[in-house]
Structure 1
Amino acid sequence: MFPLGLSRDAREYSCQRLNQILADTQILYNHYKKHHWMMRGPTFYQLHLLLDKHAGEQLELIDMLAERVATLGGVAIGDPRHVAEVTVIPRPPNGVEEVPAMLSRLIESHETILIAAHDAAARTAEMGDDGTNDLLVSSVIRTNELQSWFLIEHLVDTPLVEPHHS
């Protein structure tokens, strides 16, 4: 029995949506750590620190998402093999990619999570689950938007092609 003032259907729906976002967030966290280790080039130090900071913020979101699932009476996805089965974020190639490719991959992952979070926030609000809506809007959406913006700004500064001289 969960005396949260929410129907069983609302709780189960929220858990399902939260677990999807949780799985994708765990993958994004892992990509941040991988790319943090593999940064190089003229902006190495700046990006190395930025990606580690973002990874730490994603780790906080993982905790919040998992705790919300538990609060609602669900079981949070935590096993890496289960996460890999559930995530919709594509697996990056093994080895090292060019810096713009790594940043673009992170930005695309943020967008995937943001699309899901916006939809889940609207639907959980309709079902009366204000706690899940608040978590999605105040933490997941705001954090992912901000991190995405920081990455986009770095990508703008990265010369993708050599300028041609006239």
Structure 2
Amino acid sequence: MAVAIKKASSSNANVAPHWHAHAKEIQKYGSVVEDIPHPLSAKIRADMVAQLNQLLADSITLRDMYKKHHWQVSGPTFYQLHLLFDKHFDEQVEMVDTIAERVQLLGGVTIAMGGDVAEVTRLQRPPRGREEVPVQISRLLEAHKIIIQSCLDISDLADKAGDQGTNDLVISDILRPNELQSWFIGQHLVEMPLILEK
């Protein structure tokens, strides 16, 4: 069975991409959509979005630090830490996405671009160059400490505001994995001889 293909006329079809588009933002950063089918008030949602965006900026920074250290780790524990840092990076990718989706669900706008994240994160920026392993791990532990405390603070605020969705998210999906990652990397700084003397 033959299929007829209609030739597009150059007068009524333009197949070139429209790539110089400019328009106004459809929603400003820091705002929330007022009228959405959600039981929480716009004020509560805006407060939670602000808290979650700070957590998101810090989590994006931690995620990227894990990838940096994955690439730049060296020394006798290279192989183990190279794999561990990459595993933690992948887990942080999931956490970042989970936080961002909650921000959007609450009617907010997520912080997303690296430059914007760098302006608001509370985490210490590592140097561009390579560092010794104990320094890499110490910086990661400090970052986890800030994020864990942020989760506890947001949980308290969300509980008082009646935002059980955010409360559950920061405890179950962000706090617990960060605690576990912190424990895993922290054990690399414990001074323990390879052979214990009797």
**Root-mean-square deviation (CA), in Å?**
1.2
Secondary structure in structure 2 of the residue aligned to 1:6? coil
Equivalence for 2:99:
65
Q: What is the CA distance between 1:143 and its match in structure 2?
A: 0.7
CA distance in 2, matches of 1:104, 1:144: 14
Deviation digits for residues 105-142 of structure 1, max 9, x if unmatched?
00000001111110011111110111011100001100
Please point out which of 30, 34, 40 is paired with 2:68: 34
Deviation digits for residues 4-33 of structure 1, max 9, x if unmatched?
211111100110000000000000001000
Which has the bigger relative contact order, CA under 8 A and spacing at least 6? 1
**Is 1:115 matched with 2:149?**
yes
Secondary structure in structure 1 of the residue aligned to 2:108? coil
Equivalence for 1:135:
169
Q: Structure 2 unaligned runs (5+)?
A: 1-34, 194-198
CA contact (8 A) 1:36 1:47 kept: yes
Equivalence for 2:121:
87
Aligned length: 159
**Is 1:154 matched with 2:185?**
no
Please point out which of 84, 102, 122 is paired with 1:50: 84
Aligned-partner residue type, residue 71 of structure 2:
W
Equivalence for 1:25:
59
CA distance in 2, matches of 1:48, 1:67: 29
* Cα pair distance change 1:145/1:133, threshold 3 Å: same
Please point out which of 71, 85, 110 is paired with 1:76: 110
Q: Structure 1 unaligned runs (5+)?
A: 160-166
Structure showing greater Rg: 2
Q: What is the CA distance between 1:2 and its match in structure 2?
A: 1.6
Percent identity of equivalent pairs: 52
